[in-house]
Each structure stands twice: as structure tokens, then as C-alpha cells.
Structure 1
Amino acid sequence: MANAIAVPLTGFMTQRFGQVRLFVASVILFMISSLLCGLAPNMTTLIAFRALQGFVAGPMIPLSQTLLLSSYPRAKAGLAMAMWSMTTLVAPVMGPLLGGWITDNISWPWIFYINIPVGIVAAAITWVLYRKRESLTHKVPIDAIGLALLVIWVGALQLMLDKGKELDWFHSAQIVTLAVVAVVGFAFFLIWELTEKHPVVDLSLFKRRNFWSGAVATAVAYGLFFGNVVLLPLWLQQWMGYTATQAGMVMAPVGLLAIFLSPVVGLTIAKVDPRRYATFSFLVFALVLWMRSTFNTQADFGTIMIPTFIQGIAMAFFFIPLVTVTLSGLTPDRIPAASGLSNFLRITAGAMGTSIATTLWENRATLHHAQLAESINQGNIAATSAMSGLASNGFSTEQVMGQINRLVDQQSFMLASNDIFYASAVLFLLLIPLVWFARPQSGGAGSDAAAGAH
């Protein structure tokens, strides 16, 4: 929630403090908050420090993109985008692998402590390389009302998404209240920001066809991607007997093809219509999710890993073309605000994708459980044979029914996973026309604009 609030403020804070100072300060504060998270004595304190960590990390992603692009000549902007996209897409997948290994073999606080040496190196290198290339700053009036409205509606939305499944969504008065606050708060925020002379979030960016089509396509696709990234390890750990490390290893191969193909995409993006690359990415994502929709409880490690390996192709062709479309035609001074706003949409969509995927997963599992349970009767030879076999091995009636129920649960959640994977594949196909709403771009227009950010 805190991160989602901070990200769209990047453009405003950059104007007041400068890109380099803001990025270095963000990294340093992130290290401090990581240390505090690791030292947290209880869950309440940990949640508070995690909120702080999320807020101070807000400017890091959009500014990392801006600073990296400013280091490359326009002709190599695509390569810079490739490097940036690899970390953005691979990190959410590799994170669970590293986190699972640390949790299984060391202890959970080290998930936070590991950020400290990395942060020290990042802050030091950034300051040494960029301190003499600071962006121009000027004192922009603080849009206090816009900021307050942003905190209210985003906070309500994130709390609704976080608590929705736990409280049974709109059957809960608390969730209904949060939804009303989010909708009303957003409406007031929209009206205020569109009429404010110095808005905290530059909504005028949505007047540009390339920005809104690229940003929305990126956000929805990322929501689908991230929802499935969360769902697959969850299914493997809860119903396939995988440890956290093993589930992470299933996801690890996704980076292999992405690492090799991303530079190729970056080097050729100036010669190819980025919409073609984005379309190809969505087609491969759809193929991968369709393959996962055919899984069963007998699927072995290799079978589950193959779609993950292929997904690396989709990831390589995902971010670079869509960011190119989103930023195309913008002047350098608007890049931080545009990057911050598009990343805000992406992060919010990721949270929504996770909540929707896990909620639908459990709801579909309940439906499949009821349907499978109806088929377990005296007329079902397989079920009768299985129960007789368990009883002959000394299991009591209660134990037999417990074992059967466990098998039904396993099948139910597998079928529910297949439903989510299949629906996600269809949605990726339906997203393709949105990409083509953007105007045809001459090669590398978006990358060129971004490259001139300094």
C-alpha cells in the first residue's frame, strides 16, 4: 500500500529534490528500513517497518529506469531498456527462490539483511557516477489536498485487496466501506488533480493515446502475469508437496531465455514496430498458460518447469516494447512523471491480480470439491475400490473418509488452478487489440524520448 502511494509521487519529488539525490536517498532509506524489518520484535512492528520500506522504495523503480536511460546514447537506448526490463521481470520470480532458500536454510530476518550490502553498493556507485549530472530542480507548490486524496483512495483500495479474501469480500461491511471510500476518494482525486495547477500526479498524460494504451496494456498484462506467478508456487507447496525452495526452483528457469533474448530485443527495437513484439509476447504468455492449464496431480518436476522456461521468451518481449510505446512522444522532463504513473498502474494491477487469482482459485476449488464429492457414491467403482483398499489396510471409517477428502481437495485445487491458467491465457489474447490502439511509432521513439531524460 505504501509503495503504491509513493510511486506516482516520483515526478513531483524529482522536481523538488532532483533525480540523483532522490534515488540515492531512496536506496539508503530502503537499507535502513530493511534492517529495522529484520530486527522487528513482533508482527505489528514488522508490518509498520514494511510499510516504511514500501514507501521509501517507491521512487526506486521509475528513477532506476530514467537514470539508466540517461547513461546511454539514443542509438543504444533499446539496450538500456533491455537491461532494465530483465531485472524488473526476473526479480519477482527469482525472489521467491532466494527467499525460500534463505528461509529453509538460514532464518527469515536474512531476507531483509541481504538488502543492506546490495544497497550500499548501489547507492555508492550511483552517487559516484551521477552526482555531477543532477537534474534541474525547482520548488513546486505542494498539492496537499491531492496528496491527501491519493493516500485515502489508494490506502482504501489496497486494504480492500489485502483483506478481501480473509473477510469474504463484499459480504463484509468493512470491505464494502473500504470500496466506497476508494471509489469516492478516487472520484474526488480525479476532479481535483484535473483542475489543480500543480497536481501531485500528472493525469494529463492520459490525453496521449500511446501513454494510456501502453500503460493500461502493461498494467493488465502484469496483473495476469503476477497473479499466476503467485498462484503456481502456492499450488505446488500446498497440494503437490513441494518445499519453498523446490517451488522457487520451478520458477527459476524463466530468467534463462529472458537474459539472452532481452538484449536482442533492445538492439532491434528501433527497427521493428514495438506493437509486433508486444503482440508476440502476449501470444507466448497465452501459450504458456494454456500449457499449465493441462497439468494434473501426476505432473513431474520437468513437466511443470517446461512452460516456465518458455515463459522467458514472453518476458523478453514484454517490457521493452510496451515501455517504448508508453513513453513515445514525451519530452524528457515528463519522463519521470510518466514512468512513475505507469509503474503505479503496474504495481496496483499486480496487487489486484494476486487478490483476484487467489480468491477465484479458492472459489473454483470449492465448486469443484462439491462436484467431485457428488460423484463419490456406491455407483462409483473407482471410489468404492479405493475406500475398500484403505479399509483392508486397517484404516477406520473416519480415516478412510479423511484420506478420500484429501484426494478430493487435491484434485479440486488442481482443477481450480487449471481454470485460472486457462482464463488468463484467454485474457492475454484479448489484450492484443489494446496494444494496437497506439499510433504507429517510428523505430525507437519511446526509447529516444526516455534516453533524453537528462
Structure 2
Amino acid sequence: MATPNSVQAVPPPLHGAMLVLASMALALATFMNVLDVSIANVSIQAMSGDLGVSVSQGTWVITSFAVANAIAVPLTGFLTQRFGAVRLFVSSIVLFVIASWLCGMSTSLGMLIVFRVIQGAVAGPMIPLSQSLLLSSYPKEKTGLALTIWSMTTLVAPVAGPLLGGWITDNISWPWIFYINIPIGLLAAGVTWALYRHRETPTRKVPIDYVGLGLLIVWVGALQILLDKGNELDWFHSTQIVSLAVVSLVAFCFFLVWELTDKHPVVDLSLFRRRNFWSGTLALSVGYGVFFGNVVLMPLWLQQDMGYTATIAGAVLAPVGLLAILFSPFVGKNINKYDPRWFATIAFSVFALILWMRSQFTVQTDFVTIMIPSLIQGIAMATFFVPLVTLIFSGLSPDKIPAASGLSNFARIMAGGFGASIYTSVWVNRTAAHHAVLAEHINFANPVSQSTMNMLINMGMSEQQALAFVNNLMNQQAATLAVNDLSWLSAILFVALIGIIWLARPIKTVAKPAESAGAH
């Protein structure tokens, strides 16, 4: 009986000015959410300095949001059935605005992380619900247009994020990267409520898997804290790190057993029995983790070691969305005409190319040369998400798609948080290793070292000042070599992921059942 009621409750598509306003409001909410991930990247150094913590600790501001967001995403289906899609979406926006205000008011790293966790948690339902509400607003024949509008919004935000975040950090102060969410969020919430409050989805009481949710929070949280604090505590030489590893592993094992046997699991792990789902989700998650790790790393290197301001560092990364915006409509129109595995192969090949280009950077590399890979990366962005999501959903009946969306987004967002932690930690370690090697060659028995020291002293520096100057040069060189190492490794990982993509079945052989199900 639930199915007919649900069908009758589906409202008709919007038209004219109402459709335009609705699209803008939903796009604003999505923009605000995605923007909040990238806008903080170029502000980490300023935040860390103001709050009196190291840059590696400052990255917790990013990872705490990502992990909380990942954990909240699988709850979207339950919360939507319990409270309704419109009420949940608008409530998420309002709570996001409040959390953003609290983030800007933070006076310590601990406070900021707590409010970022809250911000990430309440943001969980926003992206999947913005997509579903947008699709419900358009006629079926214009679904492709709706998805293009939605994906364009998610691509514009990474362009605006670094530029806006850099400008705000340099010209105002870092709290304003959170305060700007307030007018955007209130406008999006107000317009959405005005247009959608009479289009609420049916609600019903459904059980929630509290045990599974608790185990999910424990194992993901313990693993993220392990990754964030591992470098600071010397990894497994620390009792705290060992304890976190044990807690995470045990909770994960119990989580697997519980979710596979519970009648209403918070995460439907049975989806991993499908080859296209697990191969697509694995490629999407690992690819996003590697991508996001580099997105966090580049601004840190540019500001900390290359002397760039936050604004200029943002300008270097901003071009990533330009070609993405140009190519996305083409991909959206042709994704059903060609094998999506070829589009994903193009994406990973371009990612590998631009990361190989970055592995060739030196301390003398100029602004334009550093910017070129960011521009080319737009092609990869346009061919990355949509083809892999198409593979993930292929062959699934309509009733399985919400669970598949929640699980794949959970894996992707979680991988992004892990990637940020791992990359910053490895970068610090590789920088120290390269510095040690370089220091071996700086001694007074080396003629080059002697002549350099004499030149600096003749320029008016004391011996201590000259040594400090040389040490700064070594730090810069070591950090750059560490970036080269990680870029090279990232390029290899993307090439390897191409093989994962081709483990998926050709989509034409699995699409027909889904299409038939959709037709009925």
C-alpha cells in the first residue's frame, strides 16, 4: 500500500519562474556546501597561526568536517522518511548556517574542530537531497538538464573556493570564510521553503540501526584520529595510536557482522556483491582520496615554502573548474551513448598526467607553470564523477539507488578525509627525510658550502644568520622534493585505478533491467 501512496504524493514538475528560482535556491545550497570544503584549504596556515597550532594540526579543520559529513550521509534515507525531504533539507541549511557562525567565533583549535564536526554532520543530507529535489522539479525528459545544472554547481564551487578563501584570508580574516555562509544559507533556506513547503514527501516511522550507527562512528572516528595524530605521536610507538588502531579494527569487524545480519542496516553492505557497484565505488573513493589529498597539499606547499599569499595560492588552483564547466555538458549529453568506462579512463589518465607534471616542479618553477596542471585538471573533473556514478548505479533497481547513493557517497567523502590526513602526514615525513639528506652535504669541508657561507657573510650576515638562511633554503628544497614524491606516487595510483574501472561489466549488458524497472 505504501507504493501507491508514494506515487500519488509525487508533485508535478515546476515551470517558468518558479523552476528558475527553485534551481537557483538548490544550487546555492549545494554551492555553499561544496565551497566550504575547498575554501578552507588556502586558509589553513592563517588559522594555524592565529590558533597557535602547527599546520599539520590545522588540517584537522578539513578532515573533521569530511569525516562527520561522511558518517551523516548514510542517515539521509532514514531522516527523509522520518521528517520529509523538504523539512530535512531546510533544517540542514539552517543548522549549517548556525554551525558556520560558531566556527567563525571559535578561539581555539578544539572549539573549531567541534563546530566543524557539527557543521559536517548537519551538512550530510544537503547534497543528496538537493539532487533529489532538483530532479523532482523537472520533467522526466529534462532529467539530463537538471543533472547538468547540479553538476555545474559542484564544479563552480572549487573554482570560487580557493580564490574567495585566499582573498578573505589576506584582506579580512579567516573567520569570514565561515561567516559568508550566513547570507547564502538564509537566502537558500527561505526560497526553498517558500517554493517546496507544499511539495513535502510522505513521512513514516522507520526503525534506525542504532548499533550499526554507533559502531560506524566509533571505527571511522578512531581511524581518523589515528591518521590525524599519528605523525605527532610517532605512530605505533605511541600507546594511544595502538589503542586507537585496536578500537577501530574491533569496531569495524563488529560493524561488518552487524550490518550484514540486521534487517534495517544503516549501510546496505549487500550492494558490494555487485561487481559494478564495488569496482565503481572503489575507483571513485580511492581516486577522490588521492585527488583531495593533493588539493589540501598544494596550498600548504605554495604558502609555506614558495612564499605565495593565500590569494595567489588560490589563483593557482582556481582554473581547475574552467575546462570542467566547458566539458561537463558534453559528458552529460553523451554518457548514455558511449561506454562510461572510457570517460573514466580519460579522467584517470589526465589526473596521472597533471600529477606527473607536478612531480617535475622545482623551487624555481614559476606561477604560470604551476597553474597549467590545474587548468588541464578540469578535463579530468568533467569526466570523473558522472561516469563512475553511472557505473555504480548500473543494473540497480530504483528502490536500491538511494542506498547505493548513500553508501558510495559515504565511501567517497570518508576517503577524502583520510586522503587529506595521509598526504599531509607523509609530506611532513618525506620533507624531514629529504632535509636530512641535504644537510649531509652542507659542511665546511664542502667547497660549495664554504663559498656560499663566505658570500652570505660578505653580504653582511653573521655566521648564525648565514646558517639560518641556508637552512631555510634546505627546508624549501626538501618540502618541494616531498611534493614531487607524493605527486609521482599519486600519478601511479591513478594509472592503477584504470584497471579497477575495467573490472566493471560493460554497462549495456546490465542497463536493460534497470531501465525496465524504471519504466514500470
TM beyond 0.5: yes
Give 1:16 deviation, angstroms. Answer: 2.1
Please tell me whether the aligned partners of residues 211 and 326 of structure 1 are also in contact (alpha carbons under 8 angstroms): yes
Q: Distance in 1 between matches of 2:131 and 2:518?
A: 12
Match of 1:83 among 149, 156, 159: 149
Structure 1: give runs of 5+ residues left out of the alignment.
none
Mapping 1:195-274, distance limit 5 Å: 195-274=261-340
Letter paired with 2:495:
L
Match of 1:68 among 124, 134, 137: 134
Match of 1:108 among 168, 174, 195: 174
Please tell me whether the aligned partners of residues 293 and 417 of structure 1 are also in contact (alpha carbons under 8 angstroms): yes
Mapping 1:12-31, distance limit 5 Å: 12-31=78-97
Alpha carbons of structure 1 residues 71 and 436: separation in structure 2 relative to 1, 3 Å:
farther
Mapping 1:431-442, distance limit 5 Å: 431-442=497-508
Give 1:302 deviation, angstroms. Answer: 0.5
- Comparing 120-129 with 101-110, greater Cα deviation is found at 120-129
Q: Distance in 1 between matches of 2:511 and 2:139?
A: 13
Q: Partner of 2:472 in structure 1? A: 406
Q: Distance in 1 between matches of 2:211 and 2:372?
A: 50
Letter paired with 2:488:
Y
Please tell me whether the aligned partners of residues 135 and 147 of structure 2 are also in contact (alpha carbons under 8 angstroms): yes
Letter paired with 1:352:
F
What is the CA deviation profile of residues 337-392 of structure 1, one whole-angstrom value per residue up to 9, with x for unaligned ones?
A: 22121111111111111111111112111221122122224564433321221122
Q: Distance in 2 between matches of 1:276 and 1:123?
A: 39
Give 1:225 deviation, angstroms. Answer: 0.4
Question: Structure 2 length normalisation: TM-score?
Answer: 0.81
Mapping 1:160-171, distance limit 5 Å: 160-171=226-237
Q: Partner of 2:39 in structure 1? A: none
Letter paired with 2:504:
A
Q: Distance in 2 between matches of 1:281 and 1:311?
A: 9
- Comparing 427-436 with 208-217, greater Cα deviation is found at 208-217
Q: Partner of 2:245 in structure 1? A: 179
Q: Partner of 1:34 in structure 2? A: 100
What SS does structure 1 have at the residue aligned with 2:508? coil
Q: Distance in 1 between matches of 2:304 and 2:456?
A: 23
- Comparing 43-52 with 324-333, greater Cα deviation is found at 43-52
Q: Partner of 1:283 in structure 2? A: 349
Alpha carbons of structure 1 residues 37 and 379: separation in structure 2 relative to 1, 3 Å:
closer
Higher relative contact order (CA 8 A, sep 6+): 1
Give 1:442 deviation, angstroms. Answer: 3.1
Q: Distance in 1 between matches of 2:157 and 2:122?
A: 19
- Equivalent residues, number: 451
Match of 1:371 among 437, 448, 451: 437
What is the CA deviation profile of residues 302-349 of structure 1, one whole-angstrom value per residue up to 9, with x for unaligned ones?
A: 111011111111101111111111122223333332212111111111
What is the CA deviation profile of residues 14-61 of structure 1, one whole-angstrom value per residue up to 9, with x for unaligned ones?
A: 232232322222112111222233334554443332222111111112
Please tell me whether the aligned partners of residues 395 and 510 of structure 2 are also in contact (alpha carbons under 8 angstroms): no
Please tell me whether the aligned partners of residues 271 and 444 of structure 1 are also in contact (alpha carbons under 8 angstroms): no
Structure 2: give runs of 5+ residues left out of the alignment.
1-66
- The reply on whether 1:426 has 2:426 as its aligned counterpart is no
Q: Distance in 1 between matches of 2:422 and 2:155?
A: 20
Alpha carbons of structure 1 residues 402 and 40: separation in structure 2 relative to 1, 3 Å:
closer
Q: Partner of 2:53 in structure 1? A: none
Letter paired with 2:297:
L
Q: Distance in 2 between matches of 1:100 and 1:311?
A: 20
Q: Partner of 1:329 in structure 2? A: 395
Give 1:91 deviation, angstroms. Answer: 2.9
Give 1:444 deviation, angstroms. Answer: 11
Alpha carbons of structure 1 residues 323 and 443: separation in structure 2 relative to 1, 3 Å:
farther
- Comparing 1-10 with 297-306, greater Cα deviation is found at 1-10
Q: Partner of 1:347 in structure 2? A: 413
Q: Distance in 2 between matches of 1:124 and 1:326?
A: 34
Letter paired with 2:178:
F
What is the CA deviation profile of residues 110-141 of structure 1, one whole-angstrom value per residue up to 9, with x for unaligned ones?
A: 22221122112322333344444443433211
Question: Structure 1 length normalisation: TM-score?
Answer: 0.93
Q: Distance in 2 between matches of 1:346 and 1:426?
A: 20
Letter paired with 1:27:
I
Give 1:204 deviation, angstroms. Answer: 1.7
Please tell me whether the aligned partners of residues 301 and 480 of structure 2 are also in contact (alpha carbons under 8 angstroms): yes
Mapping 1:117-132, distance limit 5 Å: 117-132=183-198
Q: Distance in 1 between matches of 2:399 and 2:86?
A: 14
| Percentage identity across paired residues of the two chains | 66
Alpha carbons of structure 1 residues 432 and 231: separation in structure 2 relative to 1, 3 Å:
same
- Give the alignment's Cα RMSD to 1 decimal: 2.4
Match of 1:294 among 354, 360, 373: 360
Q: Distance in 2 between matches of 1:94 and 1:175?
A: 37
